[in-house]
Each structure stands twice: as structure tokens, then as C-alpha cells.
């Protein structure tokens, strides 16, 4: 999440310190086995997370999404969210381990749907959210023979950009930064028939209005617009943390954007369809979603 804009002087002073801290933590996590790194991340974030200002954002979001839940249940979900986030951070240092141990750690369901979407030579678009360990969408795809490109938000601090290079699920996969240059890369990749993975659950101020947990939520329409433009299927991919560093990744049958009316209406209907699907997943395992994001407008 973006904080207050730093002045050039503050950037020069803080960025090296931030980078040193991030790289040190990454290095320490790398020294541990993946299960220990994941568990340590959970323990640390369970203690540190509630002291952050983002705790208030997450609590407010939960209270709005689940008005029927009492305070104790909200706090339980908050604790689970921080633990999941800490585990995900610890596991980030072990992308290679996850890649090598997919058969042991990840149950993959619906691989046939993921592959069928590319059956005519592609392209296809795969969507998920910031749930459980969201890095697994691209890793699971590569494991079943689907080299999927992705889109990411480049770090504000360029000194930690090297960490982002370690996210690649396969040597032939491409990662496009958000922005105009990345958008051009995405368009070119889709023209070449490549699969694209997107996370579609965060607020996008210049997106379109849809409903999410019964409230107005500005949502990216890009995945639906691209699918309509390239006449390609959209495949929903659910990621669940089962226990520790064990997961289930489920790919659903691909759907196409309807062509029942105006393009904007068809896109809006598709966006709402996938918002509803993501909401249903989050309601089942609310502690595994990233509630710290300012998803809804103030007052909603």
C-alpha cells in the first residue's frame, strides 16, 4: 500500500535503510527451512501486525463486511490474517522450494480446466485474489505445464527490486510492472497467445463500480476488457492454505465475457460475477484474505 509521498531527501536517506532491512530479513528467512520460515513469519506478524496503523483499516473492513460478527470473532480473524501474511512473507524467500516440492505441498484441482482454456492456442486469462499465498497461482500453473505471465506493482524503493525478480515461476515467464510500459507488454503477450495471471481484488480508483460484500467497490475491469477484446476465456483460480505450508489450488472451468449488449455492460456483468466469486471464497476463509487494503470508499 502506498503511504505519504517521501521527499527526494527522505528517499535517499530511507531507501537504503529499508533495502538493508528487507534484504536482511530475506536472507535470514532463506537460512531457515521453509516450514520454520513460514512459522516464524506467522509468529512475528501476529505480534507486530496489531501494532501497525493497518490494524485499524483491517478491523474497519471486517466490521463492514461482517456486521453480524461480534468483536471476539473479528479479532480472531485479524490474528489469522496477520499470521497468514507472515507465513506468506516467510515463504517468499523459498519460492524455489515451493517450486520443487509442489507435489508434496500443493493439491492441484482442475488442472484440466486451466489447460483447456489454452486448448486452441491461447490466449487465456487466469484471475485470483490476495488470498492465502497468492504467489502459488503462477507456480501451480508452471507445475502443470502452463508458463503463465503475470503483472505486479513495482516497489517504490528500487533498491529492493532484485527481490521481485525472484518471484518468477518459470525462466520463460514474464512479469510486467503496472503502468503504461507493462500494459503494452501485456497486450503483446496476449497477441502472441500467452496465458496471463492477474489478481483482481484490490481497489482501483479509475476502475468501474461493482458490489463487493454488499458495498460499492471500485474494481479493475481490465481482465474482462482484455478477455472480450481477445475473445478468450477467463479462468478463476482459488488458493487455500490448508495447514502450515500446505495448500489447495483449484482452477475452475473457463468462462467468456457475454456479448449480450453494450461492451461496457458486458464487462460490468463479468466484473460483478468474479467479485461475487471472490467474495464467496473470502467468506469461507476470511482470515486468509488481505484485509489491510482500503478496498471500499470511506463511509461505505
Cα 61 from Cα 65, distance rounded (Å):
6
pLDDT score for 157: 80
Domain residue spans in the chain? 8-288
pLDDT score for 223: 97
Long-range contacts of the stretch 180-187 (C-beta < 8 A, 24+): 182/151, 186/149, 186/151, 186/226
Q: Nearest 5°: phi and psi at 136?
A: -75, -15
Average pLDDT of every residue of the chain: 92
Mean pLDDT of 256-263: 89
What does the pLDDT look like over 30-50, one tens digit per residue? Answer: 999 999 999 999 999 999 999
Q: How confident is the model at residue 2 (pLDDT cuts 50, 70, 90)?
A: very low
Q: How confident is the model at residue 5 (pLDDT cuts 50, 70, 90)?
A: low
Q: How confident is the model at residue 266 (pLDDT cuts 50, 70, 90)?
A: very high
Q: What is the pTM of this model?
A: 0.93
**pLDDT surpassing 60 at residue 6:** no
What does the pLDDT look like over 272-300, one tens digit per residue? Answer: 999 999 999 999 999 999 999 999 987 66
**pLDDT surpassing 90 at residue 119:** no
**pLDDT surpassing 50 at residue 163:** yes
CA dist list (Å): 110 to 103, 117, 141, 194, 212: 15, 11, 11, 19, 26
Grid coordinates 507456480 are at which residue? Answer: 139
Long-range contacts of the stretch 190-193 (C-beta < 8 A, 24+): 190/123, 190/226, 190/230, 190/232, 191/123, 191/230, 192/123, 193/118, 193/121, 193/122, 193/123
What percent of the chain is modeled with pLDDT above 90? Answer: 76
pLDDT score for 120: 79
**pLDDT surpassing 70 at residue 1:** no
pLDDT score for 154: 77
The distance from CA 64 to its chain's CA centroid, rounded to whole angstroms, is 21
Grid coordinates 532484485 are at which residue? Answer: 162
Contact 157, 129 (CB under 8 A): no
Q: How confident is the model at residue 160 (pLDDT cuts 50, 70, 90)?
A: confident
Contact 6, 14 (CB under 8 A): yes
Strand 234-241 to strand 215-219: parallel, antiparallel, or no bridges (unpaired)? unpaired
pLDDT score for 3: 46
**pLDDT surpassing 90 at residue 21:** no
106 or 166: which carries more pLDDT confidence?
106
Cis ω on the peptide bond leading into residue 123 (within 30° of 0)?
yes
Amino acid at each position: 500500500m502506498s503511504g505519504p509521498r517521501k521527499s527526494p531527501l527522505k528517499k535517499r536517506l530511507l531507501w537504503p535503510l529499508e533495502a538493508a532491512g528487507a534484504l536482511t530479513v530475506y536472507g535470514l528467512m532463506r537460512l531457515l527451512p521453509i516450514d520454520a520460515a513460514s512459522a516464524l513469519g506467522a509468529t512475528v506478524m501476529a505480534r507486530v501486525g496489531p501494532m501497525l496503523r493497518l490494524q485499524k483499516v483491517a478491523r474497519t473492513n471486517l466490521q463492514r463486511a461482517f456486521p453480524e460478527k461480534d468483536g471476539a470473532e473479528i479479532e480472531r480473524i485479524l490474528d489469522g490474517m496477520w499470521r497468514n501474511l507472515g507465513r506468506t512473507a516467510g515463504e517468499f524467500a523459498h519460492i524455489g522450494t515451493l517450486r520443487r516440492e509442489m507435489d508434496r505441498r500443493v493439491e492441484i484441482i482442475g488442472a484440466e480446466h486451466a489447460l483447456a482454456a489454452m486448448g486452441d492456442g491461447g490466449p487465456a486469462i487466469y484471475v485470483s485474489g490476495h488470498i492465502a499465498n497468492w504467489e502459488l497461482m503462477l507456480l501451480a500453473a508452471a507445475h502443470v505445464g502452463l508458463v503463465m505471465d503475470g503483472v505486479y506493482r513495482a516497489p517504490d524503493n528500487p533498491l529492493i527490486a532484485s527481490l521481485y525478480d525472484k518471484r518468477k515461476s518459470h525462466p520463460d515467464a514474464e512479469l510486467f510492472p503496472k503502468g503504461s510500459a507493462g500494459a503494452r507488454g501485456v497486450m503483446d503477450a496476449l497477441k502472441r497467445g500467452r496465458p496471463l495471471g492477474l489478481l483482481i481484488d484490490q481497489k482501483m480508483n479509475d476502475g468501474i463500480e461493482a458490489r463487493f460484500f454488499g458495498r460499492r467497490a471500485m474494481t479493475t475491469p481490465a481482465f474482462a476488457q482484455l478477455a472480450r477484446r481477445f475473445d478468450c476465456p477467463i479462468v478463476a483460480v482459488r488458493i487455500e492454505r490448508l495447514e502450515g505450508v500446505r495448500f489447495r489450488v483449484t482452477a475452475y472451468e473457463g468462462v467468456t465475457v457475454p456479448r449480450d449488449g453494450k461492451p461496457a455492460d458486458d464487462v460490468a456483468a463479468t466484473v460483478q460475477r468474479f467479485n461475487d466469486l471472490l467474495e464467496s471464497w473470502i467468506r469461507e476463509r476470511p482470515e486468509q484474505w488481505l484485509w489491510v487494503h482500503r478496498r471500499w470508499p470511506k463511509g461505505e
